Amino acid sequence: MEKSDKAAHTRRSFLKIGATAGGVAAGTLAAPAVLAQSPIVMKMQTSWPASDIWMEFARQYTERVQAMSGGRLTVDLLPAGSVVGAFQVLDACHDGVIDAAHSVPAYWYGKHKAASLFGTGPVFGGSATTMLSWFYSGGGAEFYRELQQDILSLNVVGFMGFPMFAQPFGWFKGEVATVDDINGFKYRTVGLAADLMQAMGMSVAQLPGGEIVPAMERGVIDAFEFNNPSSDIRFGAQDVAKHYYLASYHQASECFEFIFNRDFYDDLDPDLQAIVRYAVEAASTANTASAMDNYSADLVKLRDEHKVNLHRTPQEILDAQIKAWDDLIVELEKDAFMKKVLDSQRAWVERVTYFELMAAPDYKLAYNHHFPDKLKL
């Protein structure tokens, strides 16, 4: 049955029929009008364990949806594994097993490596904020729709929110200073970062967040990254490694992905569609504020209470990452769609980041003036 043929059977049609029937019944049996006003329940699963701070970030989204809809749309928010695994939420949305998902595109890059360009692709000099702006104002949203709906024929619609801070290179049991020091390491990452690290001599395991520390304890991996100090401290990263390397080019421009089953989304009334969409932008601001608060506090806690050694990623490794990206881009651009996306991103970053860098003062200079000897870089 074609999508247009299903129109008579949509959720909206059902609700309208129910409302009409309720009206008839009210005239004869005085049935309570509230029966025609039952809220729509959106089942949303995340890719995060129940204890992860990102469940709280997802809840900031669901709270805004429920408040802005006046209770007409409620959200049943579920952690990873409640219905499907962390990496299976896209397929579950496509199949209608769940109505929505809170995840990241890197988790489905196995379907098409271009997925990683919408979060964990090459770093041309822009931040996650630069790339989120590209998504909404530089043509990225249409490329994303083309990949999901035209190339992969997925019955989903999605939006991006919360520009993440550049992710740490990760957790190591000992200090690393050169590319030779990490050669042969078994390392956890996801998306195109896996290709990048393999090019730098590592072997890579792509694991959901909840499986990382157990894998480290069993020796399945030697080192790992996930995303941020708050998630890492809740995982217990500090119990399996004591050297934490911040500032890396492997995943420096990622955002959350909010995915919806297309039939579910299309069946919503226009005002509810707008709420579902624009609540992403509202939650993005709330997520950023929460991340700044929690990530900074937890980084200090890791340093002072758990005696974790904090490092900036060594320059030799950063240089090697950029060179590895250069080589990887050549391979990625053999795919016509990926070349089109990368050309668009390069043009955006060249113009936008030129402005960003020209406009930005030296914040480090001012910080060191007011807090001398605090930042030892």
pLDDT at 366 > cutoff 50: yes
371 within domain boundaries: no
| Per-residue pLDDT band at 328 (split at 50, 70, 90) | very high
Q: Which of 86-90, 251-255, 280-284, 371-375 has the lowest mean pLDDT?
A: 371-375
1 within domain boundaries: no
pLDDT > 70 in the chain, percent: 90
Model pLDDT for residues 290-306, shown as the tens digit of each residue: 999 999 999 999 999 99
Domains in the chain, number: 2
302 within domain boundaries: no
Residues 70 and 155 in one domain: yes
pLDDT at 172 > cutoff 60: yes
Averaged over 167-186, what is the pLDDT? 96
| Angle CA 341–346–351, to nearest 5 | 130
Averaged over 346-371, what is the pLDDT? 96
For residue 13, the number of C-alpha atoms closer than 13 Å in the C-beta half-sphere is 8
Residues 18 and 161 in one domain: yes
362 within domain boundaries: yes
pLDDT at 195 > cutoff 90: yes
Give me the sheet containing 100-103, strands edge to edge.
73-78, 40-46, 100-103, 255-261, 156-163
Residues 23 and 36 in one domain: yes
Q: List, in sequence order, every residue forming a beta bridge with 160; answer none if it has no partner.
A: 257
Q: What is the pLDDT of residue 373?
A: 87
194 within domain boundaries: yes
5 within domain boundaries: no
79 within domain boundaries: yes
Burial class for 58, CB neighbours closer than 10 Å (0-12, 13-18, 19+): buried
Q: Which of 264, 293, 322 is the last residue of a domain?
A: 293
Beta strands in 275-373, from DSSP E residues, in sequence order: 309-312
Token couple for 55: 């469940």
pLDDT at 24 > cutoff 50: no
pLDDT at 33 > cutoff 50: no
Residues 243 and 258 in one domain: no
pLDDT at 28 > cutoff 60: no
CATH code of 157's domain: 3.40.190.170
CATH code of 349's domain: 3.40.190.10
Residues 226 and 127 in one domain: no
Residues 65 and 185 in one domain: no
Rounded CA-CA distance 122/324 in Å is 10
For residue 225, the enclosing domain spans 170-252+307-366
Residues 195 and 248 in one domain: yes
Query: What does pTM read for this prediction?
Result: 0.88
Residues 26 and 142 in one domain: yes
Rounded CA-CA distance 339/114 in Å is 9
Q: What is the mean pLDDT of the chain?
A: 91
pLDDT at 27 > cutoff 80: no
Residues 51 and 181 in one domain: no
Q: What is the pLDDT of residue 36?
A: 53
Q: Which residues contact 46 (CB under 8 A, 6 or more apart)?
A: 54, 55, 58, 77, 78, 79, 80, 89, 101, 102, 103
pLDDT > 90 in the chain, percent: 85
Averaged over 314-326, what is the pLDDT? 96
Q: Which of 261, 293, 325 is the last residue of a domain?
A: 293
| Per-residue pLDDT band at 18 (split at 50, 70, 90) | very low
On whether the CB atoms of residues 196 and 325 are closer than 8 A, the answer is yes
Averaged over 63-79, what is the pLDDT? 98
Cα Rg of the chain (Å, integer): 23
Residues 16 and 126 in one domain: yes
Residues 54 and 178 in one domain: no
pLDDT at 260 > cutoff 90: yes
Model pLDDT for residues 124-155, shown as the tens digit of each residue: 999 999 999 999 999 999 999 999 999 999 99
pLDDT at 377 > cutoff 90: no
Q: Which residues contact 59 (CB under 8 A, 6 or more apart)?
A: 77
pLDDT at 35 > cutoff 70: no
Residues 177 and 313 in one domain: yes
332 within domain boundaries: yes
